[in-house]
Structure 1
Amino acid sequence: MAPLMAGLPTDRGYFSQITLNRENGEIDPAHTAMLRYVLPVKGPDGGVEAAVVLNGLAEEMLTGIVTELTGEMTLAAVDSSGAYMLFNAESEQPEFLWPEAQGWTDIARPDEDAGFVLNSELAQAFVSLPLERSTGPERLEFVAMQPHASLFAPLRSRFWEAALISVLIVALSAGLGTFISARLLRPVRRLSQQIRQHDGALTRISLDYVKNDEIGSIARDFERLAGQLIDRAEHAQAVWENCSEGLLTVNAKGAITNANPALQTMFGYAPGGLQGQPLDILIPERDRGRHRGFLASMSPEEARRMGASRVIQGLHSDGRELPVEIMISQFEVSGQARYLGVVHDVRDERARAEKLRRAVAALKRSNAELDQFAYIASHDLKAPLRAITNAARWIEEDVGERLEGDTQRSLALMKSRTARMDKLLSDLLEHSRIGRQSVDQEPVTVQEIVNEIRDLVDLREGFEIVEGPGLDTIHVPRMPSTKILLNLIGNGIKHHDSDTGMVRIEAEHADDGVTFRVSDDGPGIPADLQERAFGLFQTLRPRDQVEGSGMGLAIVEKSVICAGGTIHLFSEGRGCLFTVHLPLETGAAPQRKRTA
């Protein structure tokens, strides 16, 4: 009892360490492990006079705690002294080992109240039970130990079972999936086989699938899409085959990949004869290097600039050179540069242009000769005409009073005819000079021109010139505006069939120029004669009834055309309306500001 009484606290009981049972001071040969509870008994003076000791068999007390051990699991109840009682599933009785006992090994324990340690050989779980000792609170620790291999053996077994089940499930799923997919994909494979039968052929596709399911929807959509693509392909093929211009495509290496029939005919090759040939075959040898380098260095920007046409020399299959107009553009196929050439044979155009050039040159010569003839004729004919006029005047001055009536009338008629001839020659000379001489481009108002015309025309009594509004605000070049308005107003008065009449002049800015409107209330011009009205020497009344050369409207029309304008005649019943449009850029000078 001495060890139990040593240092005995007076105010509380405590548990002893696990020790061997002693009888009469000697260790029990059976090595029975005891766990005691000591309760001190105080004396009158407050000191410990005795103690109540409860002896308990440690094996029985701890066996109640250790409920179940399996396999290779071992449980150790470790005292603070290092002594422990060892339980395992293979032994019916626990084994008590203390530090001095044979076979004792120290069991490592953590400082925490509970924990778990796993290493390569052993798994350990710790839990502590607090106990009051004579020296204060201590712990009775329980350590569960199991070899690493046996701990994970059930897990491995379950893992392989799960793996086997998974493999079986996968195999079953694969088989079932194969079966289901075979049934589901059978129509798809049938559609694919039907599509492959049309591979490379530009023909309509009709898929034999009538069910209204997803596959049927795909089949119908495919038929529709294929039909649209075939429509586009047929359209492109028709354009390619029937285009009257030569078409060819060239790859980046300068090889011809395709050529349409028009190009093959143009250069004298059989169908397919240009396929795969170098582009050089269509170019004269002297130009091949330049064109080859041009294609090799062409950028997309240069290709766009080459969209404008240019004329080069091509080489026919028989060795002849032919001029062609070519336009080149660049495009891509699967990321590779390609070039499209549009080729036009310009031989016929050049022949027509040369023919037209010769015709224009001949026409210019003819016009020049005609103008020269008109100028010379009108100028040279005036000399004898002046002699006749002078002779008639001399006769009239010398013997006019002694001439009989018929002779005087004949003399007056001769003077009238010579005056008409002089006017005719003057008008003919004026007509020939239109467009060949510079004209007065001084800007004036229409009002100023009308005022000048009033002084130039023979305005008979009973006739008037009516002016429209705003004539003093519209500026036009003096010529040919004066010549045009003078002839139109003069014709309206000269060819009037009444003793009284009116000619109206209006003007306004229209579009890019000025429009004049000259109208009268005279007899008008029948519809069947309106085309002839602008011809040379055309009068609608006998020359004995009206003094005129028949050149007025011809002079007007030529003046308008040379100024870049237009003239129109309107006449229904009585009266005529002439509309003249003169563009400002050619028919008028800049407007002149009026000053106060």
Structure 2
Amino acid sequence: MQSLREYLNAAPDLVYQALDLATAGFYVCPISDPSGAGQVREARSADANSCGRLTDVFFSKRAFASLGRPIPDNDLWQTWVSLIHPEDRQRVVDEIKHAMNQTSATVLIEYRLLRDDGSYRFTRESGKTVRPDQLGRTCYLGVLSDIDRQVEFERRLIRQNHDTQTILDTIPTCIWVKDEHSRIERINRAAAEGTGLPPEQIVGKLTRDVYPTEAKRFEETDATIMQGDMVRAVPEKLVHRDGSFRNMLIDKYKLQCDADSRARILVVGSDVTELVSTQRAMAKSEALFRTMFDSSPIGMLLVGNDGMIRLANERCQAMFGYQDGDLINHSIEQLVPLSSRGAHRRHRDTFSSVPEGRRRGDIRHLPAVRKDGSKFVVDVWLTNVSVDNQVMTLASVSDVTEQANTETRLKLAVEVGNVGFWETDPNTGRVELSPQALRQMGITEPITDVQGFLDRLHPDDREATLKAFDDHVRGDLPIYEAVFRLLHVDGDYRWVISRGICIRDDDGVAQPAVGFHIDITEQQEMKLELERSNQDLDRFAYIASHDLKAPLRGIQNIVGWLKEDLDDQADPDIDDHLRLLTTQADRMNRLLDDLLQYARIGRESVAVQDVDLAKTVPELFQFISPPPHIRLEIPGDLPTFQTARAPLEQVIRNLFTNAVQHAGSQNDRIEFDCRRDGEFYCFRVRDWGKGVPAEYHEKVFQLFQSITPRDRQSGTGLGLALVRRLVEQAGGRAWVESPQDGGAAFGFTWPVKYRV
């Protein structure tokens, strides 16, 4: 039987017609000369390298006709190349050149060709180098196919897949699509994120490869759905790669369509993690509420809108004298005295209408009645709560009978005493004063508004008093406090200190303010008298120091004149007497200075400034002019801090002076030390003199006290008294120690932050 190849060889025109009908045309490009086999490769290479400018190329009519163009008369290859889309042109030429260098490999090239109407057609070229026996030379054959519709279909399919995936990715529910072998073909973003892998690492894999731990259960339900059974609301866990998991409810559906005979599985997973957590939290909250309710140290009641008791804890039942469960489903009114039940019922109805969570009408000192009929007093705090979609009232009840009795006694004591209470509403100007507050002004007629109160307030005190109250109402001050004068009925003004606080609602809006007045007239008069006495003392100390110093200066001048008159002719006794007189006059002068300084401590303002102790301490030591053989030892880390320089320098200078005076001829050093102790610096001045016996540790800080005999004293006896007074004025303390190795150590504390 004749083969198709033999038949077509006998009728070559039939091959041409078949190619032209079955394709979008073809072309043939000879790439070697029949002059010799040895030259084929060289010729082929040369033609291939110049294929961008070939002239010996043959195109079928359909190649150009399918583009709506006639076959050009010349330059066929250049015209053909110019029709290739500019973005594809170089790639196509390079691939054809590569194909020409191959012996038998078939190449597939896809590119766009320009139609006559200006549009581009997607074309697939199947190319191959062939060597027909009849020609005796190698040719490149390019067969063209129109794939425009195929490309458009593929694009539409890609868009549809993209749109479908976009829709799936916007759904918060987890979605998987599998084949009958549990291979995952599609997954949405929610499911991929829940798995902890990007979609490209999931799609195409078997379920057991992605979810190895849960694979057996997943595949069993896959088989169930493929058999036609339902899989609905199956609880599962979607395990993340990091070990965390989400609680899921899984539904599975069998997908079947006419276009594809293969059945698929649609898996829909609803994330119920929050729901499960909420349910657990609600159960835990309910258990916690019941535990707290039953174990509360105060009485607890849960009352419905109908006034019936739903729950009562053990403490509440014992408080009212009932046994376990006796109060349940009984009216709340039976716990209130008969005379108060009507008012209580109205109050309960009003409170029940308040939205859930609002606190209203907390009741203080409510009369209550026990089961045996005995009465007592309770405080009640009410809160509306939602139970099973019903608004109920949660009441906390405390027995305050003893407290109420105490408050009654306290009220009587206050009325008898000198404390008056007041209440005022900053929004309306209403004022209410207790009887004692009125008695402080000697009146009985009530004052009901702010103006009535201002009429009795001293004109000089009104501005400061009103400002202090307004600052507190605005929230600038935590409490209101003012000292002012109120006009008494006898025409005199009484000094009063007033303190109070403004009550605020849940929104922070100021409500009535309450407070008290205390008559401090006697204290204020004593304070004024003390201030006058201090002023008199200051004037006396100043005048006395100057008046007493005048005769001393006269004595010193006379001694000087006597020395000049006597020249060197006085006998030794007279020189000793004059020297002693000069020494005593100098000591008396220093004594007057120290007395004046001692009297002024605490009554003069001091400046706070930076003090560098590493620089200041050596300067103070040199200021007292110590003997040359005594040196000062200080640590290398003395602090710099802000404090009152003058009193601190006075303390250190006095301690240095005291140490040098008692050092003795054998002592060659004085030690100064400092360490931080919380909010204070602890200073220490140590000498190696004769020391201070333990029985004198307190005595040496008293005025004019010294362990040195008076006739041998060079000081005034006020140095250490000044030290203690200045240190205590600063908030510290001063002391003396007797070290075991001899000498004395004077210590004092000084605040790190000095308060003026």
| TM range, smaller chain | 0.3 to 0.5
Higher RCO structure, 1 or 2 (CA under 8 Å, sep 6+):
1
Rg larger in structure: 1
Could you tell me the TM-score, scaled by structure 2's length?
0.38
